[in-house]
Amino acid sequence: MLRFSLDARRGSFHLDVECTFASDWTVIFGPSGAGKSTLLRLLAGLDRPQRGRIALDNRTLTDMTARHYDAPGRRNISLVSQQPALFPHLTAAANVAYGLHGIDRAARAHRVEEMLELVNAKELAVRKPRDLSGGQAQRIALARALAPAPRLLLLDEPFSALDGAASDALLNRLQSWLGDNRVQAVMATHDVSDALATNAEVLFLHEGRQAALGPAREVLAEERNRLATRIQAT
Amino acid sequence: MSAMDWQAFALSLRLAGVTTAILLAIAVPLAALIVLGRGRWLAAVEALSTLPMVLPPTVLGFFLLVLLGPRTAFGRGIAAVLGHPLAFSFDGLVVGSVIYSLPFAVQPLVAGFASVDTALVEAARLLGAGPVRLVSSIFIPVARRSFLAAIVLSFLHTVGEFGVVLMLGGDIPGATRTLSIVLYDQVESFDYAAANRTAAVLLGLSVLALAAIYSTSRKRGSEQRA
């Protein structure tokens, strides 16, 4: 279970949200500039809020009042962004193995193979990032993020370079794997179909504030009605 | 070259090799600190590490000569520990060279490390990389051209330095007489033929090292275009 109460300012933008994500798969939905990526970066520990607290399974990760802040690599959280950010000097397999530092070679190789198979990219193992397409690079980035078996997986529009069918297939495989391995996931998207596809719990963000939180169909229907009312009023 | 020149040649290479090794051990963590650290004091650290670049070598050599000489408690303390004063010794030249060439190691590394995509750094941090692993597994390989430039510039700058060496080391054959000092001696004694040979060796070293940097970067560029 992920709980957070965050107050963060970035220039003129102000994010102010307080939420509890109890379900295994939560979607943060909202238009560009709503604060989705900012929220994911705060949860991952890449940025610090001005005020607030983040706790994962009753473990405090950030508590600005107590001046407590766990570094990103100590949170047991992985983040996959729109930009795959693969290490350019390493092969795809070495990229996936990067977060497996400290475990023996055989176990590491086995884990890398398992992750590459999950994202359907075994044949890409020896390729360098410059030899991968955008979609292939995103799949390797996903495998790299999953390899250390995080407790929480954050996805920031991670399948933008994949076509619809490939994206849906990967999403199904991913959800099944996450369920089997008890990994909670939070995905940010501005695409309604992504939000509806999983029938997940949805946090609807608008200008840095929580506009709604609940089952996907309810939240999105509410938003559709709100927009329709606004259009009629103009 | 005469036998004396070969001795100076070997001494110059030894001085440059030792200085470069020490500089890398200092400059890599220093550059990483400047790039990754937070706080206004880092600007002072960067300015201090760049100071030898704008300071006249003779001024730096004079300060070090006084600091490391028998007139200061520091100089006497060092002499007591080492069993000999640092001034007018090979060890003293190494200290002077490290300080004098520090900006030539730090600046390329800072530029190279700062050019590494922030997304790569964040990805490595999320995967558990601490500062040491971040530098060794991401910064150095991704910014390897800057790393190579730091090595070559430090080495060549030390081989060619004159003011600090003359002030701090004098002209002691086998101990502090480097190729630059030999060249100065040859010109002073109007032995232009020998001076030409010494200058050619210094020039050749510089051209070879710079060619190595540029060929590496061209090879890398063509690999990326392929």
**pLDDT single digits (tens) B157-207:** 999 889 888 888 888 888 889 999 999 999 999 999 999 999 999 999 889
B133 touching A (Cβ < 8 Å): yes
Is residue B153 in a domain? yes
The string of DSSP letters for B73-133 reads HHHHHHHHHHSS-STTSHHHHHHHHHHHHHHHHHHHHHHHHHTS-HHHHHHHHHTT--HHH
Chain A residues whose beta carbon lies within 8 Å of the beta carbon of residue B117 = 85
Q: Does A83 touch chain B (CB under 8 A)?
A: yes
B107 occurs within a structural domain: yes
- Would B134 be classed as within a structural domain? yes
Establish if B226 belongs to a structural domain.
Answer: no
Please indicate, yes or no, if residue B147 is contained in any of the structural domains: yes
Chain B residues within 8 A of A127 when measuring between CB atoms: none
Arithmetic mean of pLDDT, B107-126: 96
**Whole-number pLDDT of residue B170:** 85
- Inter-chain contact A101–B117, Cβ cutoff 8 Å? no
Verify whether the Cβ–Cβ distance A73 to B125 is below 8 Å. yes
Q: Domain total for chain B? A: 1
Q: Does A111 touch chain B (CB under 8 A)?
A: no
Distance (Å, whole) CA A116 – CA B117: 25
For B122, the closest of A46, A86, A98 (CB atoms) is A46
Task: Kindly list the residues from chain B whose CB atom is less than 8 angstroms away from the CB atom of residue A145.
Answer: 126
Contact yes or no for A208/A34 (Cβ under 8 A): yes
- Name the A residues in 186-205 with CB < 8 Å from any B CB: none
Higher pLDDT, B100 or B40: B100
Within a domain: residue B223? no
Domain assignment present for B225: no
Quick one: pLDDT band at residue A54, thresholds 50, 70, 90?
very high
Chain A residue whose CA is closest to B141: A89
Instruction: Work out the average pLDDT over A93-114.
Output: 94
Residue B83 pLDDT: 87
Domain containing B26 — which CATH number? 1.10.3720.10
Q: What is the pLDDT of residue B217?
A: 67
Q: Could you tell me if B120 lies within 8 Å of chain A, comparing CB atoms?
A: yes
Closest CA to A6 of A45, A47, A49, A38: A49
Query: Rounded mean pLDDT of A4-31?
Result: 90
Mean predicted confidence (pLDDT) in B64-74? 88
Contacts for B83 with CB less than 8 Å, ≥ 6 apart: none
Which pLDDT band holds residue B3 (cuts at 50, 70, 90)? very low
Residue A148: its chain B contacts at CB < 8 A?
Answer: 127-128
Q: What is the Cα–Cα distance from A209 to B35, expressed in whole angstroms?
A: 34
3-state secondary structure A60-95: EEEECCCCEECCHHHCCEEEECCCCCCCCCCCHHHH
Q: Is the Cβ pair B133, A101 closer than 8 Å?
A: yes
Interface test with B, best of A80, A87, A91, A144 (most B CBs within 10 A): A87
Read off the pLDDT band of A199 (50, 70, 90).
Answer: low
Residue B1 in domain: no
Q: Which of A44, A86, A130 sits opposite B126 (nearest CB)?
A: A44
Question: What is the distance in angstroms between the Cα of B210 and the nearest Cα belonging to chain A?
Answer: 24
> Residue B56 corresponds to which tokens in the numbers above?
């006249």
**Sign of dihedral through CA atoms A81, A87, A92, A97?**
negative
Q: What tokens appear for A178 in the block?
A: 């996450």
Q: pLDDT band at residue A44, thresholds of 50, 70 and 90?
A: very high
ipTM for the complex shown = 0.89
pTM above 0.80, yes or no: yes
In terms of Cβ atoms closer than 10 Å to its own Cβ (0-12, 13-18, 19+), residue A52 is buried
Residue A160: is its pLDDT beyond 80? Answer: no
**Average pLDDT along chain A:** 89
Confidence of residue B219 (pLDDT cuts 50, 70, 90): low
Instruction: Report whether pLDDT(B107) > 90.
Output: yes
Domain that residue B105 falls in: 6-218
C-alpha distance from B31 to closest chain A C-alpha (Å): 21
Torsion sign (Cα): A159, A202, A6, A71: negative
Nearest to B117 among A85, A89, A99 (CB): A85
DSSP 8-class letter at B55: S
pLDDT at B100: 93
Mean pLDDT computed over every residue of chain B: 89
